[in-house]
Amino acid sequence: MDEAYPDSMIIDHVLRNGRPGSVHRGRIGLGARATGAEIAISYIVVIGQEPGPTLWINGQVHGTEVCAIVAGINFCNSLDPKTLKGCVIFTASGNPLALESRTWSTQQDFGQNLDTMFPGRPNGFVTERMADRLSREVLAVRPDLLLSMHAQGTDFESMVYGVYKLPPDCSVKPNELYRYMRCFEPFAICHQSVKPGSGEHPGNHAGALDYMALAHGIPAFMIEFGVAQRATPEQVRFGAACYGRVCAELGMLQVKGDGSKADKTWLVSARSHCNSDAGGMWQSAHNPGVLIKAGEEIGTVTDLTGVLVDTVTMPKDVLLIAIRQDPVVHTGDSVAYLAHDWTSFNFD
């Protein structure tokens, strides 16, 4: 572990005082549990031998979304700082309490969603305090790019996709983000509205980590990568390779081996959950990424006596972003995540 740093912005202090070609590991203290166990944000900082851009990777804000954490640890451990231009900052979890409890949100303060809490509050609930500290650390550094990593919920399956949200009069333009999202080979890139009542997700999405960064002129986006509570070897290797591609795109290092990137994707401008009107056992024959025509069956719900109680369709064509794999549904549960408006986009 690193030596003790003053109670200031710790990562900025590491960057200013660390030697070129060095690696730093430590924790940013946030407080304590009732037992006295520390609540802390863990970090790895790799300072390149030569100056260059700064990439910040945040492994999770939701405690069950773990694949990007393992990929980030492996990626940072594989870096040779002597061949790196610039700095890589990796914060494994912005929400260590949810990570430890294996829950999506923070259980200590009414199940608050950290990714609706930024920039946080230094003397508020613990979720607000986590958001405040991570916000201030990021803004002190002002990285050239911030990746906010997520994963699909355990009940669903999806392909890798990107999400961005643009604040009013944002100085960062979408094309600046697309070039880096491309490194993850996303089947879709979604522009998410943060307006109340937009119908995509409940909650204050102007309080997301990536939105907070963009509001301060820092390029940032989300990647939905892997499935919550899983980190398969294939996904971990893919994630680490994608982080390497982002570094290469920033001019920070030369990628060894497969440096491939996507040639095209779907740009999605409107999406929503498809919620079941019935309770029972859900079934669908579709895989994520497919086009479903208007009136075509997305899936069915059968009650526990074997009676078909609902056939789910949509009145217009939709693109299937994610499909439910857990068959047990109640009325109001999401069974699919759908794009309603999209266009094809070529990166070159």
SS3 string, the chain, reads: CCCCCCCCCHHHHHHHHCCCCEEEEEEEEEEECCCCCEEEEEEEEEECCEEEEEEEEECCCCCCCCHHHHHHHHHHHHCCHHHCEEEEEEECCCCHHHHHHCCCCEHHHCCECHHHCCCCCCCCCHHHHHHHHHHHHHHHHCCCEEEEEEEECCCEEECCEEEECCCCCCCCCHHHHHHHHHHHCCCEEEECCCCCCCCCCCCCHHHCHHHHHHHCCCCEEEEEEEECCCCCHHHHHHHHHHHHHHHHHCCCCCCCCCCCCCCEEEEEEEEEEEECCCCEEEECCCCCCCEECCCCCCEEEECCCCCEEEEECCCCCEEEEEEECCCEECCCCEEEEEEEEEEEEECC
Indicate yes or no: pTM above 0.85. yes
pLDDT band at 7 (very low <50, low <70, confident <90, very high): low
Amino acid 195: pLDDT: 81
Amino acid 262: pLDDT: 87
Handedness of CA 10, 12, 17, 18 (dihedral sign): positive
Amino acid 256: pLDDT: 67
Mean pLDDT of all residues in the chain?
94
pLDDT per position as a tens digit, 179-207: 999 999 999 999 998 887 666 777 788 99
What is 10-262's CATH superfamily?
Answer: Zn peptidases (3.40.630.10)
**CATH code for the part of the protein at 272-341:** 2.40.50.100
Domain extent listing, the chain: 10-262, 272-341
Amino acid 194: pLDDT: 87
CA dist list (Å): 101 to 33, 64, 105, 120, 236: 13, 9, 9, 21, 22
- pLDDT reading at 6 higher than 50: no
pLDDT per position as a tens digit, 63-110: 999 999 999 999 999 999 999 999 999 999 999 999 999 999 999 998
